[in-house]
Every structure is written in C-alpha cells, then in structure tokens.
Amino acid sequence: MKSKVVALLRPKNEKGPAVCGCGYAGERVKKETYVDEMGDARIRKTSTRMSEITLHRRETGAAVSGVFRCDSPWLCPTCAPARALRRKERVLAVINNTEAVGGHCAFVTLTVKHDLSMSLALVKKLLSEASRKARQGRKWQEIQAQGGLLGVVQGIEVLHNRRSGWHYHAHMIIPGMRSKEEIRKAARRLVARYIREVRKLGGVAKKIGQDVTMVWDEEKIAGYTGKGSACWEVAGGLKEARDADSRTPWDLVTLATAGDDHAKSLFTEYAAIMPGTRSCVVSPALAAKLCIVVDDDADQASEQQFEEGDDVVGKVEASVWAKILNRGVAWRVLNAVERQWEWSEIERLTCVLSQPSEEVAEKKKHAPTAFEIARHAQALVFRFKGRMDRAISHVLDSEEREAVAKGLDFKAPSIRRVMELVMADRPEPANDDLNAFLEMIEDMSATQIAA
C-alpha cells in the first residue's frame, strides 16, 4: 500500500514526499564535540546509513527496526496505525483519569452537510472553524460551568462518499465533574452553538447529523475517537463508521492505482489538505487538571526506530530490504516471521522476493489452484478439530514454504474462491468457520497495509 501512495504522490522526475523513505533503512547520527580554531567548542554531526534492518517476533506480531519512519498519520499506511494507537492511549488516559476523580465523559459527534460540489478544504474549514468558535466566549464559559466541563479532546476522521462527497467529521471526548445528565445537557448546548456557527459561515449542520451520548465502553470510544486515517471499526454501541458508498483514503489509493482517474484526483486533494492536521490533542490546561502528559499530536518527522531485544529473528541487508519494499511484498516476510518460520527459510524467502520483477515474471512460479488448496484443507481439517480456517492457513503456509525451498515465487489463489469450494461440499457451513475465515482475511489485509 505504501508503494502505491508513493507512486501517486511523487512528481515526475522529482523526489517524492517524506513517505517515500518510510520503512527503508535509516541512518545513525553520531555527535562529536571538537574545538575550532578560535578555541570554541563545537558539535559535529555525522550520519551513517544502516547496512541492515532487523526483524523481530513479538507478542503483538512481526516488527522491523533500524528503519526510517515518517510518522505521517494521514499519508503513510505504515505509520497511521501507530499514530492512531498513540491517540487512542491519550483518549483513554483522559477517560480513565476523569472517572478516577469521580467525573464522567460525554462522547460527541459533529458533522456538516456536504455534497459532491464541496471541496475537502471547504468542508474541513466549516467544521473546524465552527467547532473552535463554539468553544469561545462567555456562552462557552457558561456551558463549561453547567457541566463542570474540564476541556475537550477532538478526533478527526475523513471519508469520501460516492454520492455526497467528502465526509470530514469530528468525534469529541468531553470530561466533566457534574452528573451525567448535567454533562449531557451541557454537551447538547455545545452542539447547538456549533450548528449556529456553521450557519454563520454559510454552511449547514443538521441536528440529526450530530450525536451526544455518555461514554460506556472506554476502549471502544478511545479507538473510535483516535482512529484518524487508520479507520478502526468499532463493534457494537456506535453506529457504523461508513456505508457501502463510503471510501477511506486507502480505498481511494487502491482504486487510483487500478486506473481510476477520479479516485486519483480525490486522493491528491486529500494529500494536499490533511497533512499537519492535529487530532486528539490534550491541552496543557486539561493535562494539568487530570495529571496526564501534554501531547499536541505533532508529527515527529524522520523518527527512526533502532530497537533491539531478545525477540530478534534475524537481520536483512538494507539493499535486499529496499528491493522487497519496492516490489511491495514486505508483508510476506512479516507473515513468515509471524508464522514461526525458521530463519533459514525466511532468508531464502528474502532472496526470492528481492529479485527484480522482470526476472520473477520470467521464472516459473509455484501457483496452486483454489481447488488444490481446498482439497488439501478438507483432507487435513480433522487435525485442526474441524477448524477449516486453520486448515486452509496451514496448507497455504506449507505451499509457500515448498515454493521458497525450490527458489520459486509463490502465488496464492483467491482465498475467497478457496472458501467457496470448501463450503460447497458442506450442506450447512458452520457460521464460526465462515466468521473465523473472514477474520483471517482481514488479518492478512491488515498485515499487507502495515508492511
């Protein structure tokens, strides 16, 4: 996914945006103190490109260290999930510390009416300025006093709808020290002020498009408010984050690289507007009231990860890793790490994947059919206590290992087609099998995006 973003954003014959270097080998910076000719102390910085990257196997999955991170929450599919996690932790700290001192938190959603004629810049301006102005002046102070409100933490999400255009909206956590009902009433007054401010700016914000409720599940609310472009889905309680006509920024990237010029123009517009947009900021005043760390959600550009530990699986030459990233197949290496492959197998896999695309195309691939995978999985399902999803995963893993051992590239068949063939032979397919399998597909997709 990252390579697709890079290709879309890089100007012809020019260096691309910072996201271009994300995931590649980083640089170690060494500082030395010396005395110049005038006798003054000076600091000299020298940088050395890392010669290799390190693969790790942790409880949370595979990881890579010794690489550059752009830390972009809006344009980088590698860094966006990590930034969303940091935002979620900030929101959770606000909720937990508020409840620890006897308070409660309201969860508020703000939207503006939008259509296909409206640019993302316009929709963003309407919501951002109206939200800011609604939290200014004497009326806002009265609202704060009514609910004992301590402050506001606002998270941003952006989607694009085929029928109604850019859907830029905000989710707020509002901590307060009065009763739940008083906090709810204060939050509703804030929403009413917001609607009026949107109208003053020439926009429309309908009452039905806004929402006020009290926090009931800290983990789910924190993930929802802080998700940014990572678009974490929230199960239960909250309304669906998007409908069938809505696309995330990453959906636009996929469509654009498939030849959709309109999707390309939309993502280009998104890339011009969203960088620098802060989300889930904890102000100094709120941080002081709740005894938590101030965080302004600023990008930590060029941050490099040089983490080492006992969970090291092995090291890959920087040049080899760069070729794997360029081919967009780093996710396969990370999958192998998570599936407990031996290091010798992973090394062979990196050799196969680092070959130029034209050479790989000319070589014979190991490409089992969907029927072959389904047949093998059915024969082995008893070994996995009837869990067909695990049987299919085992067969795919074995086939890929066999291909790597022979020095061949592996091409998996359509996983959904495999499942269709498997279920066709089962008159009443078990829902747990289907659900587990769909989860496996989602996990595989998430790993590809993270890579």
Quote the CA–CA distance of 238 and 242 in Å, as a whole number.
11
pLDDT per residue over 120-164, tens digit each? 999 999 999 999 999 999 999 999 999 999 999 998 889 999 999
348 in any annotated domain: no
pLDDT band, residue 229 (cuts 50/70/90): very low
Quote the CA–CA distance of 210 and 215 in Å, as a whole number.
16
Closest CA to 128 of 203, 183, 225: 203
Contact 337, 313 (CB under 8 A): yes
411 in any annotated domain: yes
Contact 381, 387 (CB under 8 A): yes
Give the residue with greater pLDDT, 429 vs 194. 194
User: Whole-model pTM?
Assistant: 0.63
60 & 119 share domain: no
Q: Is the pLDDT of residue 404 over 90?
A: no
What average pLDDT does this structure show over 109-125? 95
Which helix (H) or strand (E) is 95 found in, with range? helix 80-100
Contact 414, 374 (CB under 8 A): no
Quote the CA–CA distance of 150 and 137 in Å, as a whole number.
16
Q: Is the pLDDT of residue 226 over 80?
A: no
Give the residue with greater pLDDT, 34 vs 56. 56
The answer to which of 297-306, 318-327, 380-389 has the lowest mean pLDDT is: 297-306
Give the residue with greater pLDDT, 81 vs 211. 211
What's the whole-number average pLDDT of the chain?
Answer: 79
94 & 35 share domain: no
pLDDT band, residue 197 (cuts 50/70/90): very high
Contact 339, 397 (CB under 8 A): yes
- How many CB atoms lie under 10 A from the CB of residue 400? 24
66 & 84 share domain: no
149 & 63 share domain: no
Q: What is the pLDDT of residue 443?
A: 52
What average pLDDT does this structure show over 84-111? 88
328 in any annotated domain: no
> 255, 290, 325 — which closes off a domain?
290
DSSP 8-state class, residue 32: E
pLDDT per residue over 242-300, tens digit each? 567 888 888 898 899 888 999 999 999 999 999 888 888 888 999 999 988 777 667 66
Q: What is the pLDDT of residue 445?
A: 46
146 & 282 share domain: yes
Name every residue whose Cβ is closer than 8 Å to that of residue 358 and which is 6 or more positions away in sequence: none
The answer to which of 142-151, 169-178, 387-396 has the lowest mean pLDDT is: 387-396
54 & 96 share domain: no
What average pLDDT does this structure show over 330-357? 87
pLDDT band, residue 9 (cuts 50/70/90): confident
Work out the burial of residue 82: count CB atoms within 10 Å of its CB; fewer than 13 is exposed, 13-18 middle, 19 or more buried: middle
33 & 172 share domain: no
Q: What is the pLDDT of residue 362?
A: 56
Q: Is the pLDDT of residue 408 over 80?
A: yes
Give the residue numbers spanning the domain of 206.
Answer: 80-290
178 in any annotated domain: yes
The total of structural domains in the chain comes to 3
Quote the CA–CA distance of 220 and 224 in Å, as a whole number.
6
Contact 41, 35 (CB under 8 A): yes
Contact 324, 330 (CB under 8 A): yes
Quote the CA–CA distance of 56 and 312 in Å, as a whole number.
5
For residue 377 the two structure tokens come to: 């999985």
Q: What is the pLDDT of residue 202?
A: 95
198 & 282 share domain: yes
In sign, the C-alpha dihedral spanning 146, 149, 151, 157 is negative
Closest CA to 394 of 417, 418, 421: 418
For 203-304, where are the alpha helices, taking DSSP H only? 218-225, 249-257, 261-273, 284-290
46 & 167 share domain: no
Name the CA dihedral angle for 334, 338, 341, 343, rounded to a multiple of 10 degrees. 60
Specify which residues 110 forms β-bridges with.
170
351 in any annotated domain: no
Quote the CA–CA distance of 188 and 321 in Å, as a whole number.
53
For 381-424, where are the alpha helices, taking DSSP H only? 388-405, 415-424
18 & 89 share domain: no
Give the residue with greater pLDDT, 241 vs 416. 416
What average pLDDT does this structure show over 389-402? 88
Q: Is the pLDDT of residue 303 over 50?
A: no
Which helix (H) or strand (E) is 439 found in, with range? helix 431-450
Q: What is the pLDDT of residue 450?
A: 44
106 & 243 share domain: yes
Percentage above 70 pLDDT, the chain: 76
For residue 403 the two structure tokens come to: 């291909």
Q: What is the pLDDT of residue 352?
A: 87
Residue whose structure tokens are 């592996």: 410
16 & 66 share domain: yes
Give the residue with greater pLDDT, 324 vs 449. 324
Quote the CA–CA distance of 103 and 391 in Å, as a whole number.
49
